Amino acid sequence: MMISGAEIVIRCLQEEKVDCVFGYPGGSVLHIYDALFKQDQVKHILVRHEQAAVHAADAYSRSSQRVGVALVTSGPGVTNTVTGIATAYMDSIPMVVLTGQVPSFYIGQDAFQECDTVGITRPCVKHNFLVKDVKDLAVTIKKAFHIASTGRPGPVVVDIPKDITAQMCEFDYPKTIQMRSYNPVVKGHLGQIKKAVQILQEAKRPVIYTGGGVILSDAAEQLTKLAHKLNFPVTNTLMGLGGYPATDKQFIGMLGMHGTFEANNAMHYADVILAIGARFDDRVIGNPEHFGEEKRRVIHIDIDPSSISKRVKVDVPIVGNVPDVIEEIVKLMDGGFKTDPEVANWWKQIDEWRGRDSLRYKQSEHIMPQFVMEKLYEVTGGNAFITSDVGQHQMFAAQYYKFDKPRRWINSGGLGTMGVGLPYGMGVLMANPDAQVACVTGEGSIQMCIQELSTCKQYGFPIKIINLNNGMLGMVRQWQEMFYSKRYSQSYVTSLPDFVKLAEAYGHVGMKIEKPEDVEPALRKAFTEHKDDLVFMDFIIDPGANVFPMVAAGKGLTEMILAEDI
């Protein structure tokens, strides 16, 4: 039977078991929206700005392992998605973005709402396509899902001209796809794995350093098993939080620019680093020259060969799917593996570093942001999905909310995109409808996608917005305080809205919390009495609170600045 290109698009989504798309209609996608209207298998979430559609699709994926899908129109619809696509790209999130394009016979003529979608998005996608023939439509969408979700995942854009969505064609969805130019390596090289096991056996000061790859490949279970067998300390990157239970005694906290004293020291002084699904980026190892001063051996497991030896020279590279490689290691260890007795002394050293309690903070008469995070953790029993924006609040959430499970910590690590928190909450709720979701944000970030309060009302997303309001762009202010002699250039906001009234204007519940003793009762109220409401909680926090420990940009991991009294 011949069906239209638009119907083919929807049929493809159904075949891929996509249950919802986030989008915004417009001229070039009207045929697709019409086809969407005639079915009820694929739900559509109408956002208020295309950027939010992509962020929501991104979080849908982050919180569920399924591919998120966004649908937008040509021209400005596309340009508005670029931030969202780049955000997903930097964190390797599988996502398919379907974009409308002007009719193919208008392309290149500066038609109304035309832009070079493939050109504009090329540097921030894993791959992109322009569909030029309706006969290629189904196979292109199949390829898009295949590429997005295999190997090192990433966003894929499919640009579909309007005339293609009107043309009629037989629908034939391929079951599998073969591409001679795209065959990611899955199985790790056994010889390399054997070498790795040997080195692990010889390690005297080992550390297991894991990143977002563990989350993306669903390897948390295997990682925990391996770490317990080895009894080595484990540190996570910002993107890796939840990949290993934060309440486990082997967990030494997040590392990097705002990592714990013990994690950064362990990473620096380790003689063997087992890096898994992590990429030694600048926020993690600081100055590579300083990092390179210590002699050590590095084992690196990653699905992406280009992540290996990119910033730090690796001794044993293992390219492959993380959970499979870990299983292989565990299997080899069953044949009489013994760790070096020196590791006990290493643990003593780590416990001494731990004793510094580098996340300690001083209470003040104001609400301390760290305190809000601790209470949020208590009140939600550690079970919430925490989305965050970017800045001090993000670091406080990462440091003080202990993630025991993967896919619960949803934030923009690589690109550092302010404004993602609220749309991320929407995406999490579409993938996990019964979840408790808190969006930890600040008065700066939340205003970057504030319009989505309207979407939240329409679909009844009961997100709890934890607005850590210090009237300052806190992280910018912190850097200016420390490195720019307190010249607070453009880092404060003098006319903030009344967030309580703003929330109410959108039909939500607003709360303003100004005293430390009110923090816990307010949170409890929000999560019980207002369980089904979106609650905007405006916490007026200590404006002077800073994030510590801190490794200044360009400094080495051991050159941490600690809070004054530590």
Partner 1 sequence: MRHIISILIENESGALSRVAGLFSARGYNIESLTVAPTEDPSLSRMTILTSGSDEVLEQITKQLNKLVDVVKVVDLSEAAHVERELMLIKVRATGKDREEMKRMADIFRGRIIDVTESTYVIELTGASSKLDSFIAALDAGLILETVRTGVCGIGRGDRILKV
Which of 78-81's residues contact partners 24+ apart within 8 Å by CB, and which partners? Answer: 78/50, 78/115, 78/117, 78/120, 78/121, 78/159, 79/115, 79/120, 80/49, 80/50, 80/51, 81/50, 81/51, 81/53, 81/54, 81/121
Which residue type occupies 404?
Answer: D
E strands along 258-391, which residues? 272-276, 297-302, 316-319, 385-388
**Of 52, 113, 46, residue with least CA distance to 85:** 52
- Taking the least distance from each CB to partner 1, the nearer of 303 and 376 is 303
In the complex, least distance from residue 282 CB atom to partner 1, rounded to whole angstroms: 15
In the complex, least distance from residue 354 CB atom to partner 1, rounded to whole angstroms: 36
Q: In this structure, is the dihedral angle defined by the CA atoms of residues 523, 524, 529 and 531, taken in order, positive or negative?
A: positive
Q: For residue 270, give both structure tokens.
A: 């380790």
Which residue type occupies 54?
Answer: V
- Taking the least distance from each CB to partner 1, the nearer of 115 and 456 is 115
Which of 329-336's residues contact partners 24+ apart within 8 Å by CB, and which partners? Answer: 329/193, 329/196, 329/197, 329/200, 329/226, 330/222, 330/225, 330/226, 330/229, 332/193, 332/194, 332/197, 333/197, 333/229, 333/230
In the complex, least distance from residue 128 CB atom to partner 1, rounded to whole angstroms: 8
Tell me the CA distances in angstroms from 54 to 83, 97, 257, 314, 528, one per residue in order.
Answer: 9, 8, 28, 35, 30
390, 91 in Cβ contact below 8 A? Answer: no
Question: Which strand (E) or helix (H) includes residue 34?
Answer: helix 30-37
CA-based radius of gyration for the chain: 24
Residues tagged active-site: 50, 112-113, 162, 475
469: phi then psi, degrees, rounded to nearest 5: -95, 110
In the complex, least distance from residue 181 CB atom to partner 1, rounded to whole angstroms: 4
Which of 330-333's residues contact partners 24+ apart within 8 Å by CB, and which partners? Answer: 330/222, 330/225, 330/226, 330/229, 332/193, 332/194, 332/197, 333/197, 333/229, 333/230
In the complex, least distance from residue 246 CB atom to partner 1, rounded to whole angstroms: 32
- Taking the least distance from each CB to partner 1, the nearer of 308 and 431 is 308
In the complex, least distance from residue 170 CB atom to partner 1, rounded to whole angstroms: 24
Q: Is 486 helix (H, G, I), strand (E, B) or coil?
A: coil
- Taking the least distance from each CB to partner 1, the nearer of 231 and 306 is 306
Query: How far is Cα 193 from Cα 356, in angstroms, rounded to an integer?
Result: 36
- Taking the least distance from each CB to partner 1, the nearer of 124 and 368 is 124
- Taking the least distance from each CB to partner 1, the nearer of 185 and 190 is 185
Q: For residue 498, give both structure tokens.
A: 């009344």
Query: How far is Cα 156 from Cα 145, in angstroms, rounded to an integer?
Result: 8
- Taking the least distance from each CB to partner 1, the nearer of 183 and 383 is 183
403, 242 in Cβ contact below 8 A? Answer: yes
3-state helix, strand, coil in the chain (%, to 5): 40, 20, 40
- Taking the least distance from each CB to partner 1, the nearer of 67 and 255 is 67
In the complex, least distance from residue 152 CB atom to partner 1, rounded to whole angstroms: 8
- Taking the least distance from each CB to partner 1, the nearer of 303 and 431 is 303
Query: How far is Cα 171 from Cα 188, in angstroms, rounded to an integer?
Result: 38
In the complex, least distance from residue 305 CB atom to partner 1, rounded to whole angstroms: 5
Query: How far is Cα 265 from Cα 558, in angstroms, rounded to an integer?
Result: 6
In the complex, least distance from residue 207 CB atom to partner 1, rounded to whole angstroms: 24
User: Rule CB under 8 A: which residues touch partner 1?
Assistant: 118-119, 122-123, 126-127, 130, 147, 152, 179-182, 304-306, 309-310
Residue carrying structure tokens 């609400």: 367
